[in-house]
Chains A and B, each alone.
Chain A
Amino acid sequence: MKRASFILTALPLLLLPTAIQAQTSGRILGRVVDGESGEPVPTAEIRIEGTDLGTLTSEQGDFILRNVPPGEHRLRAERLGFTPTIVMVRVRAARTTQVRIELTRAPVGVPGVEVEVERVRLIEPDVVESHEAVLGGQLIELPVDEVEDAVELTTGVSDGRFRGGRVGQETYEIDGLNVKNQLSASTQGPVLELAPSSLAEIDVVTGGFGAKNGSALSGVVRYATRRGNRERWEGRAQVTTDHWAPDDLFRGFAGLSLSAGGPLRFLGDGTTLYADFLAQGMVDAEPRARGLTCLQPEDGDAALAARIDGLVSDPLTAPLYCPYTADRLPNQRGDKLIGFLRFDRPLSSQLDLSLSLLYNRRQNELYTREFKYNDDYQLGLRKQGAFLNLNLDWSKYSGGKVYRATFRGAALHLSQFVGAVDPATFEGRTQLAGFGLSEFQFLGEGFVKRPIEEQLERGTAVPGYQRPGGTTGSPFGPAAEGIFFTEGTPEFVTWGESGFLGADLDGELITTRGLSLRGGSSVRLYRIENYERVLAYLPGSSPNYALFYPSTASGYAEMSLAAAHDITVNLGLRVEGFESGLSFQRDRGNILAPRIDSEWKVNVLPRIGLAGPIPGTDGRSVIRFNYGLVAQPPDFQFFLDTSVGDSLRTVIRRQGNPDLSFERGAAWEAGVTHLANDHISLSATAFLKELTNLVTGVLVFTGFGENQFTTGDFGSVKGVELTVRARWPGLLVRGGYALQEAQGVTSGAFADPVAGTRQERIEFPLAFDRRHTADLSVFAGHAAGDPAQPWGGSLTATVASGFPLIRQDVQLTPDEGIDERLPWTYRVNLRVSRELGRLPGCGGCRWRVSADVRNLLGRDNVLALRGDTGTLAPSVSDLDAAAAEIPEDIRPIPRESPDYSRIADLDNDGLITAFELRTARFAAALDRNDPSLFFGGAREFRVGLEVVF
């Protein structure tokens, strides 16, 4: 019997996923042998239960199954004279899983024996990299809105930062193709967005990625899209909304998710189509924990508390304090749309075609405190992405070897626009539950998209833009002039479009002896167009504009082999290069300096990885080790003069540098995974990253050279990660903890906009040095894959310490360092669903209801504090200075004046005096510093209805 079971000691050979990412489904490459003699078993029938995928073994006992959906499958092997055997196999997207099955001779008719391989799912003895995979089935059960939220559940990933790296140090792959937002990943994220229901798997790699992966310093996120079911049409429709929630939980969210996929048999067997559509409408696109709040006495120091108490305790001035608060932020309306279509067709027995098209659009107003009381104009954002991917995958199985070649051609287009939303088009657009059927239109959008020469020739302001100002419309009337802009528009308009035409070619050779050779190349031809105009209301103000054509190219070779003692060795070499495509003056201070063309920057990056069982542990403990050089081209936005928006959406300017080189680093990691019992595994990983040539992060205003982007920052991140995975029938648990320290020399640590740059090069905690993070995810019932359970639940929890608080005006020294940090944050999300059985009136349909709670505990997580005071509040002296801007001899404002505000007329005598104006201005300055955006997500409660067929 034991011989009939899986031979645990042979696990490394039996399940050998290899690291090529050629297609979005997976492959199983296997060999069936006689368990007693070890001889190959020919003509054995191999079948994946629940699918029509199957084949027969060759004379050598080998077989290959292609187009296997990612996930866990029961692989059944049968042959007359042997006991039918079932092996649990986990297939990952874009990978070849190797399996060895030993059959036991038995009389005909003996029932099949299911092999217990839970441990294989809990430890991966042959996997070199540090990764976390979430299957599509789990993804739609998670209480997340965006796939990025699921990525956050990986140990070492927090707020988009991978292992202490900066945002943008990771790269994204969709079906094996790199689609990083090369223009502005560090500030805008990936832009391209997929719906959770369109994915078959997310694989998040935080360390040890192979030579195929480039353009990343800290991580790789691999998305494998879903393809249509080959056997029958199936679909899913879901409505989720909080429009039913009580007022204090109502955020104005409504979402509709539709997906359907199935065979197109009239185009040939195996041809499938999958379509996915997601639409969301949001009244408050970024619900914050306190909604629209104001400074509380405890938010600042004692002096501020006393002044607030003074305002509140006087009946005449009490109405000036917090005159406008709400459960939700105003001017945050928006919507999101994602459409995905995938077509798969086998062109021959060896060649598969896959074509996918993705479009996403997110648009919403951006709450800005200074425009809080502006009824006419608000800042808005529109992001759009479109992605076309053609994938041709050829494979041949011969003589125990698999030969594969994959060609990918892709086109990507990303665009974003930030500017003043045109109120005429905004209010009149058709919408349902907050979802707008049309795009946001922005003031002057047609003008700023005109040829730049034409704009300069006209010399006019951007049409529709008006100088921000106004004395009325706020609760403080004329006292708030210059503090709140109740008239006019936001000042700036910026848009960018980037895209590429790209092609990849990969080749692979896999043998059943555990050797694989891979190689490939990749080319991207970019087109980047970027426009920024800061004083858009001002005729003659000049925009920053650039149109250029950068390129990237890369090649790699990698070998993976099963060495002695079941050790898997990966050796790889990657060559990566980019060219900015710009000509520039190196000396910007000299207008006569010659222009020079940018050159190709090239990097050679070796990668080494080892994995294998620890001798004497019966395969229950495995170790990993990785070393590699990593590099990524800097964001192309750093080539350009740019206005950089900080977290408070203010605008600062910086000079571009087309001569930037790679951001580089070296990464080491070592890890051990131990199977505690058949249900629980523990994993520990230590890592070290040396980051060099990082693009400087903070402005320095002195001089031309210093006011320019450079790659002068460097640092190192070291840390330890612990992960627990547990699995019982109907229950999945995963928990992780990461301790890390990110030290570095960064311009951010000692830039002083007033005094200039300090000369010391001292290491300080990097701005993204988050020390402690812990996360937990639990799936139960049918959410854990147990179809017998009508109930399902999933819970995610994250705990994290705060980022360093870099104070302004604080002179740092090596001894003092930075000991101030933002507070810890806690967040728990919960999703519960209940199957309701067959849907009445729809025979083949099943339905279920769900309830989603975000930030279950209602924590007011603080994500930012002021750099000047270290609190949520400004200093009283700053507020007093604002109040003192009102001259004492100002003429009183009578009630009939348009400038009059009842709330500022404290004694209600029909006249606002200078004293009253100053009092109101203090309150206005207090209100202007409302800390709404300093807080994390609000508690949300949604209910959903889902129908599947």
Chain B
Amino acid sequence: MRPTVSPTLTRLTRAALTLATLAVASLSCRDEVASFEERRTDGPRGQLGQLTFNTGDDRSPAWSPAGDSIYYSAAGAFAGLPSDQGVLVSLPFAATGTLTQLLPDFQSPDDDRRMWLVSPLPSPDGQRLAHVEIAALWDIGLFCSAGPVASCTPPPDSAPLPPLQEIVIRVSPLGDARLDTRSLTVRFPGVVLDARTAEFTVHDYPFQQLFAGLGAFIFQPSWAPDSERLVFSDGLRLLIWEVGADEAVPVPGTEDGVTPAWSPDGEWIAFSRLERADSLERFCVHPGLIPCATQDRLEYVRGGSELELIRPDGTDGRTLGSGFDPAWSPDGGALFFRRGDAIWRAAVDGSGVGLVVHGAADGWEPAVSPDGRFLAFSRISGRGDYDIWVISLASE
């Protein structure tokens, strides 16, 4: 016998089904109250032109391997830090996003380890980040007692000490620059302390004057394509450091070589060779009750440097003409470099030299994006500080 369904149940079921259908149809969710969306990315960010506006110096741009961010060192962008200190940051090269600080701990105002961090450089495989820590600069006051000025000619202020004393090249995982670091300490030549006489002698080499005068990061390292080696300069030559090794190996034939750049195929190293002059002067650096220091000043031709290529083993050196701060195009066929007051481009064989005309005037530290479409560089703004700029190479 077929069970009978209660009429009440039938009505209830039908009513429920009807209402459920209507409810689903009617309760299609309308939008909730939208949260405020901050319009913080309008303006030139992500467009070509000036990328950073920091009132401190933004220097030594380097592209991420994917070409979506630019790494650079920024000075004075963060509250609580003196304006002359730099931190490493990355900035998305896109329509959104703000910079990310890479080494917050090192820059804590209360941290004795605080250093001046420059030249962040991601490895080609995207696994590592190299950067340079500029340790304490030379300060004669650490060695000599202050005393009355006796017979200094010219006065000491016009003959300061060469600043660079020591840097540390540090390599760390790209994701967290505080972990698992490998480092190499590089001492710059030129300052010799005679412990017996308490005098020290200073040779003010051109790289020191270039650093002191223009703030050029002559020691900026460059990755080999294998992401295992770095080439850098100690001011008087290039050296190759196999990351993790205790010492770096000099590259023969690179005297006075600075700002090296390893080619994408690993076959060449481009660098700038500073030109020396012959004049030699002797200065009283810091007179006191007893003579404390003397300085041998070695002049160089200001702005004079040659762009050269050399094999990593020091062979097959070639000169490409005047130039400074070279950067390779991704295909290895061209070099971008500073000449005069602008950024130039030349083929590796030295041919096709031309000025990068669109917006790269007064540019320093060129860096070409991995896809070859953009050129990042630093430039002194109207306020007198360096900012990062990006231009398109498509029309060049």
Contacts and interface: CB of A to CB of B under 8 A. Distances in A.
Interface of A: 232-233, 235, 237, 239, 241, 243-244, 250, 252, 254, 256, 260, 262, 283-284, 292, 323-324, 326, 328-333, 372-373, 375, 432-434, 472-475, 477, 839, 841-845, 891-892, 894-898, 900-903, 905, 908-911, 945, 947, 949
B53 A235 contact: no
B253 to A, nearest CB: 41
Nearest to A324: B36
Interface string B308-320: 0000000000000
B124 to A, nearest CB: 25
A220 to B, nearest CB: 37
A243 B45 contact: no
Interface stretch (B23-31, B192-200, B213-221): B23-31
B395 interface: no
Contact of B30 (A235, A283, A895): A283
Contact of B39 (A232, A902, A945): A902
Contacts of B30: 243, 250, 252, 283
Q: What are the nearest 3 A-B pairs in CB distance? A: A910-B53, A433-B27, A894-B53
B40 A910 contact: no
B31 to A, nearest CB: 8
B45 A895 contact: yes
A901 B43 CA distance: 11
B11 A894 contact: no
Main secondary structure of the interface of A (DSSP, over half): loop
Given A844-B7, A949-B15, A373 B36 contact: yes
B52 A894 contact: yes
A901 B41 CA distance: 8
Interface in B1-54: 7-8, 11-12, 14-16, 18-19, 22-23, 26-30, 32-36, 38-45, 50-54
A664 to B, nearest CB: 46
A898 B12 CA distance: 59
Interface in B302-346: none
Given A842-B18, A902-B43, 19 more contacts: A239-B23, A239-B26, A243-B27, A243-B28, A326-B33, A330-B36, A373-B36, A433-B28, A839-B15, A895-B44, A895-B45, A896-B99, A898-B98, A901-B40, A902-B38, A902-B39, A903-B38, A910-B44, A947-B15
A949 B15 CA distance: 8
Given A284-B33, A475-B38, A897 B26 contact: no
Interface in B51-105: 51-55, 74, 76-79, 83, 89, 91, 98-99
25 contacts: A233-B12, A235-B12, A243-B30, A254-B26, A254-B27, A333-B32, A373-B35, A375-B35, A433-B28, A472-B38, A842-B11, A842-B15, A891-B83, A894-B53, A895-B53, A896-B51, A896-B53, A896-B91, A897-B54, A901-B40, A903-B39, A903-B40, A911-B53, A945-B22, A949-B11
A262 B40 CA distance: 62
A314 B11 CA distance: 66
A894 B77 contact: yes
B99 A256 contact: no
A372 B29 contact: no
Contacts of A842: 11, 14-15, 18
A903 B7 CA distance: 66
A432 B27 contact: yes
Contacts of A235: 12, 15
Contacts of A945: 19, 22, 26
B40 A477 contact: yes
Contact of B16 (A237, A474, A894): A237
A894 B75 CA distance: 12
A472 B12 CA distance: 55
Interface string B331-368: 00000000000000000000000000000000000000
A901 B18 CA distance: 52
A260 B9 CA distance: 12
A323 B37 CA distance: 10
Given A239-B23, A243-B28, A895 B33 contact: no
B8 A233 contact: yes
Nearest to A910: B53
B78 to A, nearest CB: 8
A895 B77 CA distance: 10
A941 to B, nearest CB: 13
Contacts of A433: 27-29
Given A909-B53, A911-B55, A239 B22 contact: yes
Contacts of B15: 235, 237, 839, 842, 845, 947, 949
Main secondary structure of the interface of B (DSSP, over half): loop
B18 to A, nearest CB: 6
Contact of A845 (B11, B36, B41, B43): B11
Contacts of A256: 23
A473 B11 CA distance: 54
Nearest to B36: A324
A277 to B, nearest CB: 12
B92 to A, nearest CB: 9
B19 to A, nearest CB: 5
Nearest to A843: B11
Nearest to B53: A910
Nearest to B52: A896
A897 B43 contact: no
A841 B32 CA distance: 35
A232 B8 CA distance: 9
A910 B33 contact: no
Nearest to A908: B43
B384 to A, nearest CB: 14
B29 A292 contact: no
Contact of B26 (A241, A262, A372, A477): A241
Contacts of B51: 896
A514 B61 CA distance: 100
Specify which of A237, A241, A895, A902 lies most central, judged by the most chain B CB atoms within 10 Å of its CB.
A895
A911 B74 CA distance: 15
B12 to A, nearest CB: 6
A897 B98 contact: yes
Given A477-B40, A892-B55, A896-B53, A237 B19 contact: yes
Contacts of B40: 472, 477, 900-903
A329 B34 CA distance: 10
B109 to A, nearest CB: 14
B27 A898 contact: no
A899 to B, nearest CB: 8
B19 A947 contact: yes
Contacts of A902: 38-43
A841 B14 contact: yes
Nearest to B44: A910
Contacts of A326: 33-34
A676 B7 CA distance: 50
Contacts of B29: 243, 432-434
Nearest to A327: B33
Specify which of A235, A262, A894 lies most central, judged by the most chain B CB atoms within 10 Å of its CB.
A894
Contacts of A328: 33
Contacts of B53: 894-896, 909-911
B34 A239 contact: no
Contacts of B52: 894-896
Nearest to A841: B14
A910 B36 contact: no
Nearest to B381: A910
A475 B45 contact: no
A339 B165 CA distance: 79
Contacts of A895: 43-45, 52-53
Contact of A292 (B11, B33, B42, B98): B33
B10 to A, nearest CB: 8
A331 B33 CA distance: 8
Given A945-B19, A947-B15, A332 B33 contact: yes
A474 B33 contact: no
A898 B35 contact: no
A478 to B, nearest CB: 9
B36 A323 contact: yes
